[in-house]
Structure 1
């Protein structure tokens, strides 16, 4: 218990430090998870489509952007407690709409259920041998709710900490399907040296909500405006589309 309390104290101190740093004029704290091709670490650097966009926004706006990579559920908590912060990338669902200020979209970001081509499984409450499907969803993401609303029983929903874990579990046979954004799962498979061509969409849960930068609603108005205007400049110039087209081309592992 003492160790747990100490860890909680250190976590709280770290959050306060982040808040103090991000509160400086012109600063924003961006919190992301490992979700290629949108955002991930490579050689200690933040890379991927969303981070390339952020680099250009920083250049155009003069804003100083700090970044932190955290599991999605922890990132939700961090952004909820740090006013000058944003979460990326986030699917803009109706349930989330009033809780954030939005800039985007980066991509359409369909939410889908995927399986391996070799499984032969359909998106139905049970498999051919009458057992419940095992569907991996990232903790804190809307995919879990959507899977349940699509008719899947609670026993079918397996919470995972991120897309890498879900992908590994699917290919290892510990899951029958995974639910979320299809493009990141394809890139995770490629990055892990797995055959991404085996991933197929079994069911589309929600089409076209879009992936955005989701800001704490208490963000400084002037800072938010500078960020949003810089993003709009990228979109209007066609540079955002060029970055997206390049990011959606999977790279072989180690390249």
Structure 2
């Protein structure tokens, strides 16, 4: 009931913003909904950090928009953004199936979708091997990885849906999963954050290269707000500042920060 009431309150606020005439900046012009997906977006000491949030900070400053943020499990975030016109989900892989569902701003990163396993397991991603035992592959509920794993030939009984990359990472290292599918960087970051050996993670199979990670807006978003956001992102990209942020984030990952 609390979640429902919270969503209804946000919906009422978003509707009010949508009905407002003109383009005056208002408190909470947009709601950005993210999941715990380090190193792109996560909470650290109550602060939203990671590459996506650094970009969002600069877009907000450049555009003058006030962006509220909420961190939710991915499947719940999908529903929240579906219900609220002036909202967007981040970080989202821009697949062909999702293309008509949102208005897109980005990309933030290439975001290849892969299948990972532990080096020590010696396992291979071989869905068509007749004598292969049933693999247990973790995918985040609501993510495109599950569909991609099915399309690669894995049976439904091999696919285990989890609420997020942290849960999948814990299950992989505990031996409850054989593999995980999704973006490699969040799994590497989660392993390090949990005190596990991230060097054990290895790519067993590439499901899709280069769809890219984006800000995905409700298609009913106020046009003026969307244009201001998109224009600010383009300024960030064309000025070279986005590339600078990406390079700094990569250096921090290499340094283990």
User: TM-score per shorter chain, which class?
Assistant: over 0.9
Match of 1:111 in 2: 113
Aligned residues: CA RMSD: 1.7
Shift of 1:245: 1.6
Q: Following the alignment from structure 1 to structure 2, what is the Cα–Cα distance between the partners of residues 160 and 127?
A: 26
Write the distance in 2 (CA, Å) between the matches of 1:129 and 1:93. 32
Residue 21 of structure 1: aligned partner: 13
Tell me, yes or no, if the aligned pair for 2:126 and 2:132 is still in contact at 8 Å: no
Could you state the TM-score of these two structures normalised by the residue count of structure 1? Answer: 0.92
Structure 1: runs of 5 or more not aligned: 1-6
Greater displacement, 125-134 / 58-67: 125-134
On the 8 A contact 1:106/1:212 being kept in 2, the answer is yes
Asked if the contact 1:105–1:210 (Cα under 8 Å) also holds between the matched residues in 2, the reply is yes
Partner of residue 93, structure 2: 91
Paired residues for 1:148-167 under 5 Å: 148-167=150-169
Check whether the contact 1:37–1:187 (CA below 8 A) recurs between aligned residues: yes
Q: TM-score, normalised by structure 2?
A: 0.91
Extract unaligned runs of 5+ from structure 2.
Answer: 18-23
Q: Residues 212-227 of structure 1 correspond to what in structure 2 (within 5 A)?
A: 212-227=214-229
Q: Is the 8 A contact 1:191 1:252 kept in 2?
A: no
Cα contact 1:126–1:133 (8 A) shared by 2: no
User: In the TM superposition, what is the alpha-carbon distance from 1:20 to its structure 2 partner?
Assistant: 3.1
Q: Where do 1:1-255 residues align within 5 Å?
A: 7=1, 10-22=2-14, 23-24=16-17, 26=25, 27-125=29-127, 130-248=132-250, 249-250=252-253
Contact 2:111–2:209 under 8 Å retained in 1: yes
Distance 1:127 1:117, change over 3 A: farther
